[in-house]
Structure 1
Amino acid sequence: MTLDLLSLYQDLHAHPELGFQEHRTAGVVADRLAEIGGIEVTTGVGGTGVVGVLSNGDGPVVWLRADMDGLPVQERTGLPYASTHTGRDDEGAEVPTMHACGHDIHVTWLLGTLERLVDDRGAWHGTVVAVFQPAEEVISGARAMLEDGLVERFPEPDVVLGQHSAPAPVGIVAVGSGPVMASSDRLTVTFNGRGAHGSAPQASLDPIVTAASAVVRLQTVVSREVSPSDAGVVTVGSFHAGTRPNIIPDQAVIEISTRARNEETRERIIASIERIVRAESEAGGLDAPTIERAPGAEVTVNDADAASRVLEALRGAVPDARDLEIGLAMASEDVGQLATAAGVPLVYWFTGITDPKLFRRGEEIPSNHSPFYAPQAETAIPVGVDALTAAARAWLS
């Protein structure tokens, strides 16, 4: 059975689903695994995760991971297969959905790699565990699969491998060693005030003013509390308060995303945020704020020896495989949790998906999470399959 990977990709792209809602996507994955044949398929792992086990005699066990979820983004690529789908966010509101981070091509790469390995069984030995993970965008899917017994229920790995699409030219594959992606945390802060009529502000304890002051003050955390030789990010991405212009509300809620390149900076940033929101509440005469910290992602760290092994294999399969030159990216991932839980090395690398002509013409390149993010799938799919297959074979051959 030969999968039509381009049609598969276009179908996935046109039907993105939010984290833990990937029911259709998981069904497509399970069906394609059955079509390839010879793969033991388990669905519903960690909610909507899918695991495929391809056994081919004694030998190493390699986990290959691809994430499946989309984003609440309105697609504006103009592609004939652009998403017009919607989903429900955590509050139940209907939102547009889009594969604006390449998870559709990640799934396609992994399915194409499995098909190639099945067709070439005589050239390798060992076991491949394909992990199709939900909810990476909310940094919850890896944890959910682990809590559902991923390590205990399936062959334990010798290495965890994966690749992420990048807004680099098609043909470039970059592998880093050591820290390659930042930690990530999400905090929800509720400022608890006292509501009143807009004409009587003296009767209120205004949470909007306090929250606004905190948002401004939070901009000093990185600029004044993180060393210039280090790196960190504090983003207030959501601010909700009030229902009418003449009503001072009881509460204001902000949502904060943080990034850091090491655990010390990570905890320093969190502590600074907590100090500032508490101090601003006290300055405004409000009760203490409510601070909720969601489980986050640790720094993604590639094992040096394993990364070198992958890079050597990629150089034999992809002409423009190279060392990652940009250093640590401030985006975050939860793939490292799989390797940490299993106690094995991780290698996670970046594969270009953008038309090289756009770079030569000096055009603006849409980044991940942009409504214009559009991989050049026809050429990027085979490169990604070549790369993932070569990396797996570095352990299986």
Structure 2
Amino acid sequence: MRISTRTSISIRSCHVRRNGPHRSSQNAWKWVASRSSVELAGTGGWLLRNGKGLAYPTPAKSNKSMRSGTLIVLFQPNEERLLSAKAMIDDGLFQKITLPSVCLAQHCVPTKGGTIAVKPGRVLGYLDSLKFRLSEGARRHSCGTFHTGTDASIIPDYADFQLDVRTFSENTQKLAKAAVERIIRKECEVAGFPTTPRMVTVVSSPAIYNDAVATSQFTRVFEWYYGRRASEVVQEMPPDIVADDLVLLALPPGGMPIPYVYWNIGVTDPETWERVSREGELRDLPPTHSAIYAPAIEPTLRIVIEALALAALTFLQLL
């Protein structure tokens, strides 16, 4: 059994805020090291993503004599833009590693800390990120700062804008994408544009469909591990219109699709979650990738390491 697990790296500076030790990279990494036998680590941005990837292989390593398989820990850079999985594949990823039997990935979301959300079947949607360029000569009705004009009195040669098309159905996605292109072309035609707008698909990501058999194995082990707390910790993952490029890592060129399990980990402080739930203010929680998105160290880091370790040990047949 060969297992590939993905942990993502955000390549950007760490913004230090006075709302928790995790916003100071030095203190945060000391915290990780003291709890996961990691002697030294460096951060490019997000503590949780790097920390879980460095820490969770420890249980598998400690059971080396019992292990029956190979664990591949894949650190994926720049996951947010959905460009890195394809870049890694184009750079020869599948020629550098043994093809795994199953892929595992988890993502942090602003739900209640200490919870794991998973379910078989479709959990994330399709995405096409489209970029349009509209070109026109210097006319009186031109808008000088529509895109990134340098000055209000300088008329640019073109205007760029970008939008995302997100759906849950492959057929609906194709129809919606075609409709967007058709509407923009017709509007430009009616407006008398001298050239046809140019459309480029910047990013395209298929939907995430969790493998039913692998997800069932995963869920059973978590229910066993958490025992009477299982109903509080393990929850059904609701379908989300967002996208993730994990699916590309499970589609080796010229090979059979690799089964995978993708799940979410809640990162909001439990007391904060209960309060905003009572007050009906869940929408006010900072969304993922927000500048003020600040996952609570506990219980988040503990459970992300437990989740990946348990999942890996499950498919290494050690549990």
Q: Does 1:334 align with 2:245?
A: yes
SS at match of 1:391: helix
TM-superposed CA distance for 1:81, in Å, is 5.4
Letter in 2 for 1:347: V
TM-superposed CA distance for 1:151, in Å, is 2.0
Contact 1:77 1:374 in 2 (8 A): no
SS at match of 1:281: helix
Aligned to 1:112: 55
Residue 5 of structure 2, aligned match among 64, 76, 79: 64
Q: Deviations over 1:237-258 (max 9, x none)?
A: xx61533334443321111122
Q: Does 1:351 align with 2:265?
A: yes
Q: Deviations over 1:58-87 (max 9, x none)?
A: xx1111111112569977664455379xxx
Contact 2:127 2:203 in 1 (8 A): no
Higher relative contact order (CA 8 A, sep 6+): 2
Q: Counterparts in 2 of 1:88-167, with a 5 A limit? A: 104-167=47-110
TM-superposed CA distance for 1:352, in Å, is 1.3
From the superposition, tell whether residues 193 and 334 of structure 1 become closer, same or farther in structure 2 (CA, over 3 Å): same
Determine the C-alpha separation between the residues in 1 that align with 2:94 and 2:205. 19
Specify which structure has the higher proportion of strand. 1
SS at match of 1:151: helix
Q: Counterparts in 2 of 1:342-381, with a 5 A limit? A: 343-362=257-276, 364-381=284-301
Determine the C-alpha separation between the residues in 1 that align with 2:21 and 2:11. 18
Determine the C-alpha separation between the residues in 1 that align with 2:149 and 2:198. 17
Q: Structure 1: 5+ residue runs without aligned partners? A: 1-59, 85-97, 212-238
Q: Deviations over 1:216-241 (max 9, x none)?
A: xxxxxxxxxxxxxxxxxxxxxxx615
Identity of aligned residues (%): 29
Aligned to 1:44: none
SS at match of 1:329: coil
Aligned to 1:178: 121
From the superposition, tell whether residues 126 and 173 of structure 1 become closer, same or farther in structure 2 (CA, over 3 Å): same
From the superposition, tell whether residues 78 and 161 of structure 1 become closer, same or farther in structure 2 (CA, over 3 Å): same
SS at match of 2:137: coil
Determine the C-alpha separation between the residues in 1 that align with 2:22 and 2:287. 19
Q: Deviations over 1:312-331 (max 9, x none)?
A: 112223433434242x2111
Contact 1:317 1:387 in 2 (8 A): no
Aligned to 2:200: 292
Aligned to 1:324: 236
Contact 2:132 2:162 in 1 (8 A): yes
Q: Deviations over 1:72-114 (max 9, x none)?
A: 9977664455379xxxxxxxxxxxxx95xxx541221122111
Q: Deviations over 1:89-143 (max 9, x none)?
A: xxxxxxxxx95xxx54122112211122112323432110111112222212111
Determine the C-alpha separation between the residues in 2 that align with 1:107 and 1:315. 26
Q: Provide TM-score, normalisation by structure 2.
A: 0.81
How many correspondences in the alignment? 285
Contact 1:71 1:137 in 2 (8 A): no
Letter in 2 for 1:155: T
Contact 2:221 2:310 in 1 (8 A): yes
